[in-house]
A and B are shown apart, each in its own frame.
Chain A
Amino acid sequence: MTSPTPAASALRTVPAIVLTALRLVVRDRLGLFFIVVLPFIIILLFGVGGAGIATAAIGLAVDDGPEASALAEALEADAALSVERYAEASALRRAVRRGDLVGGLVVDDLEADLAAGRTAEVRWLADPASTRAVATEVAVRAVLGELDARLTAVAVAVDDLGVPRADAVAAAAETPEGRLLGVEEEALGDARFAWGVDEVAQQNAVLFIFITGLTGGVALIESRRRGTARRMLASPSSATTILLGEGTARFALCALQAALIVGGAALLFGVAWGTPTVVVAIVGLFCLVATGASMLFGASLSNPEQAWAIAPPAGIALGMLGGALWPLEIVGPTMQAIGRLTPHAWAIDGLRAARAGEGLGDVTSALAVLAAWAGALLVVATWRLRRSLTA
């Protein structure tokens, strides 16, 4: 048997390792459920359920008046919400407590406050333990933001430009989507933010790519424990080639997970992912991050039971911190800052930018942070894995 060149050795060894890893995943029914089925169940439950097909019933207690009507119309115009008017705040409160409503809005003195140029206080009543209420609150906030932008535009037109109030209101109402361009963006800051199936699909992509990466590390632990890794090292393939194969296999699994969620969500739920180059770059880099985490996990732990006990909770915990279970916007500044330390937050930022139509030049920060994470994890993981196999 002639000895192959390193390149020829890599060309035959890496695909063999990758194909075997994929074949093992296909044979594992539980693993398949986590990779193929579970992400779509969650998108369906939290995304479509929270924003699309099944609308959330909310109540609105506000005195009659033109602004109150505008508020009710704006809320009813959102496909995620169905609005029921209440004459008394106490009745609305009872309905929320009974669970008849997901949540309720109480606005006192809306007409008077706005006429006087004061900020009208809006109270959101909801069960804090309800994830549906959290999702609905985000939708409500988005509507209020739109309305606030319109009101701000009217105020600017009346106060600063001297436009008659009636003309300003009419002009704002006639503007597409009820917004005055230029004024709305400045007033809202995160105007593109909205909770719905698109958002949940993005979050799930990030969450499940990482969890798939971590659980993929279990195969590495099994390979070390069973001795298949040593057997591979006894072949003419070098340790570098085998590590490349194992890394490529883990990356392929993460990429497969990403393709399933991106493609599946687009086909099944009509999710618009946005700028393709940004989506590919962000998802690709995040798959590398998950690959590094997978290899580090596989090199560091000693048995699969330990890994199965740690991988899903660790993936979910990082997802929580990084905004892959709920938007970072709904947590406090400290938790937002902590969340920014995870690669998840940057990946979600990048995907949001893609959905907003931004290009690669607009997501350089996210790309740089993800590349740094991927590089650091892969270097440390490769070192540890090589050491665990050859020491």
Chain B
Amino acid sequence: MSASSAPAGPPGPSRPARARGTQATTGPEVVLEAAGLRRAFGDLTAVDGVDVRIAPGEAYGLLGPNGAGKTTTISMLCGLLEPDDGAVRVAGHDLAREPAAAKSAIGYVPQEIALYPDLTARENLAFFGRLYGLRGRALAGRIDAVLDIIGLAPRADDRVGTYSGGMKRRVNIGAGLLHEPRLVVLDEPTVGVDPQSRHAILESVAALSAEGTAILYTSHYMEEVERLCDRVGIIDHGRMIAEGTRRELLAELGEADRLDLVVDGDAGDVAEACRGIAGVVDAAAADREVTLLVRHGRARLAEVVATVASAGATLTSVELVEPDLEAVFLALTGRALRDDG
């Protein structure tokens, strides 16, 4: 995938200044504006009062563990699910009242490889392009441009079923870029891909953002969000519990460090025991791993090691990590990001 290649489009000034069909009705400062989104499934409230605003060229990361409400939120933002309450405006169009206009401004890249494996990449792109009103030479031109962006022009006429996982992911993203959307929504776009493809995907998303496209990005991989996103929203139990730039979110931690432990023994018991150590802000366990949020972590290291032993476990490894979004997430939710519970 070529990170530096810009999507080809009609002649004119480069983005974001380029005139677009939806731009006339939208303010320059916001592409996506969602307010008070709420959705319940029976007795379960999956999303409860979520607000999101994304400006042109801004990359917004939506973080949350499984079941936190990310997919439900994205489904409502993309018009796939009707909210019980709240409103969504995309490029100035109300999603409920002008769904076609609003959806035309969104490029949705689902978590699944939502492609036809028996069709070639070019045929897949042509199909999804037609759904957005592209046809004839304009469609062919956009397909060629997108194939260049995702770096698959040489294999464009091979069936997608013959591609590697990373290549399929790239076509999956390409199908969301055909109509030059003002907002690209990427739901876990790097799941199951090799490091090289992941790097290429991230470069490509960064390039889109640099060209003025608003990005909504969800991932389990904290480092991807830290690398790509200008602002991050943390969602848990259907509520947006924190939002801001990386710097703003890290400031909430104060002086806390993160300690990653690997133990032989019951990780849950170890986490529970460590909560009693002075300065431990939070502790979470998953499999054999224990993540601690500790004020002045280096100074508490000896006490942590002793506590692990007293909990009947053996410490296999310990790592002191500089404050990052993972630590913020742990402090806010009491859970590690990839903890399924």
Contact = CB atoms under 8 A, between A and B. Distances in A.
Contact of B98 (A3, A27, A227, A234): A3
Contacts of B112: 226-227
B169 to A, nearest CB: 13
Interface stretch (A16-24, A134-142, A177-185, A367-375): A16-24
B321 interface: no
Contact of B79 (A6, A27, A234): A234
A231 interface: yes
B9 to A, nearest CB: 11
Nearest to B93: A3
Contact of A236 (B99, B114, B175): B99
A234 B103 contact: yes
A230 interface: yes
B341 interface: no
A27 B131 contact: no
B130 interface: yes
Contacts of A234: 78-80, 103, 106, 108, 110
A233 B127 CA distance: 13
14 contacts: A1-B179, A3-B100, A12-B130, A16-B127, A20-B127, A24-B119, A27-B118, A226-B112, A227-B113, A231-B108, A234-B103, A234-B106, A234-B110, A235-B103
B104 A236 contact: yes
A234 B180 CA distance: 15
Given A226-B112, A235-B103, A12 B78 contact: no
B241 interface: no
A305 to B, nearest CB: 16
A227 B114 CA distance: 5
Contacts of B81: 390
A231 B110 CA distance: 7
A230 B114 contact: yes
From A12, A228, A237, A390, residue with most partner B Cβ within 10 Å? A228
A334 interface: no
Given A2-B21, A231-B110, A390-B80, A12 B116 contact: no
Contacts of B113: 226-227
Contacts of A20: 116, 119, 123, 127
Interface of A: 1-4, 6, 9, 12-13, 16, 20, 23-24, 27-28, 226-228, 230-238, 390
B132 interface: yes
A108 to B, nearest CB: 64
Nearest to A27: B118
Contact of B133 (A27, A233, A236): A236
A79 to B, nearest CB: 45
B104 A228 contact: no
A228 B127 CA distance: 11
Contacts of A6: 100
B105 interface: yes
Q: Which 9 A-B pairs have the closest CB atoms?
A: A227-B114, A3-B101, A227-B112, A234-B108, A235-B131, A236-B100, A16-B130, A3-B100, A231-B114
Given A6-B100, A28-B118, A390-B80, 18 more contacts: A9-B100, A12-B133, A23-B119, A227-B113, A228-B114, A230-B114, A231-B175, A234-B80, A234-B103, A234-B106, A235-B103, A235-B131, A236-B101, A236-B103, A237-B131, A238-B99, A390-B81, A390-B82
A226 B119 CA distance: 14
B22 interface: yes
B163 interface: no
Contact of A1 (B22, B79, B114, B127): B22
Interface string B177-217: 00110000000000000000000000000000000000000
B337 interface: no
Given A1-B133, A231-B110, A226 B127 contact: no
Interface in B131-153: 131-133, 135
Contacts of A231: 108, 110, 114, 128, 175
Interface in B42-90: 78-82
B298 interface: no
Nearest to A242: B131
Nearest to B106: A234
A312 to B, nearest CB: 20
B247 interface: no
A226 B115 contact: yes
B296 interface: no
Contacts of B93: 3
A98 B234 CA distance: 81
B18 interface: no
A12 B133 CA distance: 7
B80 A236 contact: no
Nearest to B91: A1
Nearest to B78: A234
Contacts of B127: 16, 20
A12 B108 CA distance: 19
B155 interface: no
Nearest to B180: A1
Contacts of A237: 100, 131
B116 A235 contact: no
A390 B20 CA distance: 30
A1 B132 contact: yes
Nearest to B74: A234
> Which of B108, B116, B175 gathers the greatest number of chain A CB atoms within 10 Å?
B116
Contacts of A27: 118-119, 159
A27 B101 CA distance: 35
Of B20, B103, B105, B131, most A-chain CB atoms within 10 Å: B131
